[in-house]
Amino acid sequence: MSAHFDEELELYALGALDAGERRAVDVHVAECETCLAALAVAEHSASALAELYPHYRAPHRKSPKAALPARRMSQWGALAATLLVGLGIGSGIGIEVFRQHAVPDDGALVAIAQSHFAHVSVPMRGTAATKILYSRSGDWLYVVTGSPHSLHISIAHAAGGASQEALTRVEGDAAAWYGARPGIAAPGTTVILSQPPRGEELGRVTLR
């Protein structure tokens, strides 16, 4: 790793660097927690200066469109819904869940379709059935529950280190979350579901 940045972090936050200098900071802070923390402080201060600009209402408030083309998403959504129904989760968790929230990137459903995966039911306290689908290679997992309540997910790895936190998204009568990165569903990983924000534990399961 290169030496720490100093004044460049404030200049970055102020927009006073040119594009090449900015990229150098981006690359560095991706690996350096010390400079990342200093940049966070600088960005907090610099963003306060936006108060000095006139305030306007944004003419459009719609979110950016997801990268996944609608036609392809629908095709994979139908496949995924079929998979879920086949697993006994029920038609209440249907295509819409996948279309809106189970496809955080365009590789998600492709990964599911092309993977050898396992599934496990999570014994839940006072909540509808919840299942976790996860790849045998351990690089993705999908949490889906037939409950119209968002759940906090904590993924603790057997190897230790920081747990990963997430929140399922409610859609109709169901909620779901998909995560993908190497080792996220490695054997021994424990998935804990609780009332948000990380309150009463509702259920947990350790992946094999």
Q: Let me know how long the chain is.
A: 208
Rounded to whole angstroms, what are the CA distances from 208 to 88, 142, 188, 204?
20, 15, 6, 13
Rounded to whole angstroms, what are the CA distances from 108 to 130, 137, 152, 162, 198?
19, 14, 20, 24, 26
Q: How far is the CB of 88 from other proteins (least distance, A)?
A: 26
How many Å is the maximal CA-CA distance in the chain?
57
Q: How far is the CB of 66 from other proteins (least distance, A)?
A: 6
CB closer to other proteins, 135 vs 168: 168
CB closer to other proteins, 17 vs 121: 17
Read off φ and ψ for residue 178, nearest 5 degrees: -120, 135
CB closer to other proteins, 42 vs 80: 42
Q: How far is the CB of 51 from other proteins (least distance, A)?
A: 4
d(CA 151, CA 191): 12
The residues that touch other proteins, with contacts defined as CB under 8 A, are 6-19, 22, 26, 29-30, 33, 36-37, 39-64, 66-67, 100-101, 103-105, 152, 164-167, 169, 177, 179, 196-199
CB closer to other proteins, 41 vs 88: 41
Place of tokens 């900071």: 25
Q: How far is the CB of 113 from other proteins (least distance, A)?
A: 19
